[in-house]
Chain A
Amino acid sequence: MIVRISGEGQYRLSDADGERLNQLENEVVAIVNDGREDDFRAAFQAVLSFVRAHGTELADDALETSEVILPPSDATYDEARHEFTGEGLIPD
């Protein structure tokens, strides 16, 4: 699957890695839902590091659409929290 990290680029991940990414991502969502701000950064960075480490970056001129788009690496806890409640990084 193709995964984009906003502000960085697109990566191709195997289906198995896609499953793992899914788990990591759900952990972040759980952290945000529980309001565990202190745990957010490490968990969120783990998602991004996983993609960078396991994915193959697409060429600049690739014209493929991403199945997954992740927030930019400097996204804050507040932005992530707002993202799930409507506002946030990208206006509705």
Chain B
Amino acid sequence: MAGLGGRMSTVVKAKVSKLLDRAEDPAETLDYSYQKQVEQLQNVKKGIADVVTAKKRLQMQENSLQQSVVKLDTQARQALAAGKEDLARTALERKNVAQTELQSLDTQVAELEDQQQKLTDSEQKLRAKIEAFRTKKEVIKAQYSAAEAQVRISEAATGVGEQMADVGLAMQRAVDKTENMRARADAVQELEAAGTFEDITQLGPGEDDIDRQLKELSSQPAVDDELAKMKSEIGQGAPAPQIAPGEQAPAGEGEKA
């Protein structure tokens, strides 16, 4: 261990050793310790399944956001064609928020995929080590005196334990990450669900609280650009359908659906 002064690894190692110490003496009963390892391997599998579930959840959210984007775009066009620029702007603000969220979801899904891969690799290593431990303990039991066997098994069990601690750490990090993502995704989903117009006529004049929040979240320059672009596509002065009863139609526009 000459020159082992790297404090970064020493701190991590010391903590892993503490985790291992906290576990029951791994060599106490060989078969019991093996049984424990197998149990923990099951927990690892469960943990991986949780990450996969979290990922699927995010992917479903991506799908529904994609649909919202299309819907809001259509609504903005309809509103603009009806000469209701405010409505169009609101729809585009919401679309902008949904698009930003989509990008962030993409990153999150990629991160979870990475975590899932790491955990799967780690689980495979753990399984291989447990299997090696099983073989080794039988060999050692047969070949060595009780005292010697104890020492050797203890070494082997520490090797398994270290991998176990490693998977445990990876699992904890994955859980923390998915919890953060879930909290954020839930918040945006709530906002987004409340913000998508089921029917454009539902949106009356004035802004409700959700509109204000969405406005804050969206990028106004991007919304301005898109609105201008949409205007030029639709063509100024084109006859517009009246789709929002209760709102005053722009002067000179007839009704057309």
Q: Are both chains from one complex? A: yes
Which residues from B are CB-within-8-Å of A74?
173
Which residues of chain A (1-19) have a CB below 8 Å from chain B?
1, 3-4, 6-9, 15, 18-19
Listed in ascending order, the chain A residues whose CB lies under 8 Å from chain B are: 1, 3-4, 6-9, 15, 18-19, 21-22, 25-26, 28-29, 47, 59-72, 74, 80, 83-84, 89-90, 92
Contacts A19-B3, A69-B16 aside, 15 further interface pairs with beta carbons under 8 A come to A6-B12, A6-B169, A7-B122, A7-B173, A15-B2, A25-B9, A62-B129, A63-B159, A63-B160, A66-B162, A68-B10, A69-B9, A69-B162, A70-B9, A89-B169
Q: What is the distance, in angstroms, from A63's C-beta to the closest C-beta of chain B?
A: 3
Let me know if B125 and A60 touch, CB within 8 A. Answer: yes
Binary interface profile of B, 1-23, with partner A (CB < 8 Å = 1, else 0)?
Answer: 11111111111110110110000
B222 within 8 A of partner (CB): no
Let me know if A80 and B8 touch, CB within 8 A. Answer: yes
Q: What is the distance, in angstroms, from B154's C-beta to the closest C-beta of chain A?
A: 10
Let me know if A63 and B12 touch, CB within 8 A. Answer: no
8 Å CB contact of B6 from A8, A15, A62, A68? A68
Which residues from B are CB-within-8-Å of A80?
8
Which residues from A are CB-within-8-Å of B173?
7, 72, 74, 89
